[in-house]
Amino acid sequence: MTLARVYLVAGELSGDQLGAGLMRALRARHPGVEFRGIGGPNMQREGLESRFPLETLSVMGLVEVLKHLPALIRVRRTLYDEALAWQPDVMIGIDAPDFNTGLELKLRQAGIKTAHYVSPSVWAWRQGRVKKIARAVDAMLTFLPFEADFYARHRVPVAFVGHPLADEMPLTNDRVAAHQALGLEASTPVLAVLPGSRANEIRFMGATFMEALITLCARHEALGVVIPAATEARFDELTALLASYPALKGRVTLTQGGAREAMVASDAVLLTSGTAALEAMLCHRAMLVAYKMAPATHWLAKKLVKTRWISLPNLIAQEDLVAELIQDEATSEAIAARLDALLSDASARQALEARFAQMHAGLQRGASERAARAIEAVAKGAALPDTVQETHG
């Protein structure tokens, strides 16, 4: 069977990157395939006709979503109508599970094959969602083996494909070359700061990060700080925020994009959670995760979350490799103290770098190609290929 039409809906920048890799793999196998749905610049460069801006679905937090719910329902209804009229061979939801699962369910009920790429954290909280997922998708494609095990136990068709970022990023990297690309002396110690790709993350963490940097820069006079803004909007917000902290003038380099270069150049990374923590791990860099959210969202999360970690390096390792400062613990003083200790202990950083390199190698599986083969199987109504289910063979 040749794939002619594929509908994809990505929810944020990380999903846009993943979607682009999957689209390349699908086009290599099916040169004439057409793509529609929602995606960002990466997916659009691969030929996606995006019906809405990527930011349409980039709403996070249990409370925050409620404010945007009417608009999100209208968007989902529009996507459903358009997909139904277009009749794709398969619809693929990429992350954004609360939005995409509902769309997948309706389209599958209407006779369209569906798959979900990037498992929601059902193993951590709201495990009852797996029942709806089982009704909504013909296959779940997971990055991590423990996720695949969870779905197999609940009899959801699943393919463990590995992580595309692990394939994309080299097992060795050049810190000196990254320094040069950023215009930094090779001997300059560097802290990379990734405050998040969403406006809410800048709002909740921005000032705390800046105050921590003031303390840290006073303790480490040679330290260079690089802040790569995830988007043009975040760049503008961070520019305005930095203007309020004149003590950081000349100590902080703000760039638009270039997060990986900043992390590779760094001795340590300060970040909010999410895909950035995985990228830092794949750059083999020591890190600190600090995160705040709306108080009501945090209260609900404490009641519902069943895992002790939020960062992917810890979840993959199933142990405390990365320090996590959450909500009230994420003060500027605590952040500065943790980073001070990390920057002052080269042996601890080197041990983490070695461990992260080992974990990186274990996730390199040719994920986009494996995912493409799984999507083909879904579209054909065939069994998922054994090659993408090796953990369950």
Q: What are phi and psi of 134, to 5 degrees?
A: -60, -35
The structure's pTM equals: 0.74
Query: Is the pLDDT assigned to residue 273 strictly greater than 80?
Result: no
**Residue 72: band (very low, low, confident or very high) from pLDDT cuts 50, 70, 90:** confident
For 118-123, what is the mean pLDDT? 85
Residues 342 and 374 in one domain: no
- H/E element, 8: strand 5-10
Q: What type of residue sits at position 17?
A: Q
Per-residue confidence band for 53, with pLDDT thresholds at 50, 70 and 90? confident
Is 88 in contact with 5 (CB distance < 8 Å)?
yes
Residue 154 lies in domain = 5-162+365-392
Q: Are residues 30 and 156 in the same domain?
A: yes
259 and 145, same structural domain? Answer: no
Q: Is pLDDT at 281 greater than 70 in this prediction?
A: yes
Same domain, residue pair 188 and 116: no
Q: What is the average pLDDT score of the chain?
A: 90
**C-alpha pair distances (Å), 122 with each of 11, 253, 341:** 18, 38, 34
| Inside any domain, residue 318 | yes
Task: Please indicate, yes or no, if residue 152 is contained in any of the structural domains.
Answer: yes
Determine the pLDDT at residue 309.
Answer: 85
Q: Which residue has the higher pLDDT, 224 or 198?
A: 224
What mean pLDDT do residues 4-11 have?
A: 95
Lowest mean pLDDT among 44-53, 139-148, 334-343: 139-148
Of 57-61, 142-146, 212-216, the range with the lowest mean pLDDT is: 57-61
Verify that 264 and 239 share a domain, yes or no. Answer: yes
Looking at the fold, whether 383 and 334 belong to one and the same domain comes out as no
Residue 168 lies in a domain: no
Determine which of 60-69, 147-156, 213-222 has the lowest per-residue pLDDT on average.
60-69
Is a pLDDT exceeding 60 seen at residue 64? no
Average pLDDT estimate for 307-332:
90
Query: 117 and 201: one domain?
Result: no
Least trusted range by pLDDT, from 41-50, 54-63, 81-90, 252-261 = 54-63
Distances from the Cα of 8 to the Cαs of 20, 52, 372, 375, in angstroms?
10, 12, 13, 12
Q: Which is higher by pLDDT, 307 or 103?
A: 103
DSSP-assigned letters across all residues of 20-67: HHHHHHHHHHSTT-EEEEE--HHHHHTTEEESS-GGGG---SHHHHHH
- Are residues 85 and 231 located together in one domain of the fold? no
Residue 151 lies in a domain: yes
Query: Does 174 have pLDDT greater than 50?
Result: yes
Same domain, 182 and 132: no
Residue 58, C-beta contacts closer than 8 angstroms, at least 6 positions apart: 11, 12, 197, 198
Within a domain: 268: yes
Cα–Cα distance measured from residue 289 to residue 330, given in angstroms and rounded to the nearest whole number: 9
Residue 61 pLDDT exceeds 80: no
pLDDT in tens, 370-393: 999 999 999 999 999 843 344 443
Is residue 66 in a domain?
yes
pLDDT of residue 67: 67
Contact assessment for residue 262 and residue 300, using Cβ atoms and an 8 Å cutoff: no
Structure token digits, residue 95: 């992350």
Burial class (CB within 10 angstroms; exposed 0-12, middle 13-18, buried 19+) of 203: middle
Q: Are 149 and 128 in contact (CB under 8 A)?
A: no
314 and 194 within one domain: yes
- Same domain for 346 and 203: yes
User: How far from each other are the two terminal CA atoms of the chain, in whole angstroms?
Assistant: 25
State how many domains the chain has. Answer: 2
CA gap 96, 101 in Å, rounded: 8
Whether the per-residue pLDDT at 302 is higher than 80: the answer is no
The contacts of residue 73 (CB under 8 Å, 6+ apart) are none
- 170 within some domain: no
| Per-residue pLDDT, 90 | 98
d(CA 281, CA 276): 9
> Is the same domain home to 186 and 148?
no
Q: Check which CATH number belongs to the domain holding 109 and give it.
A: 3.40.50.2000
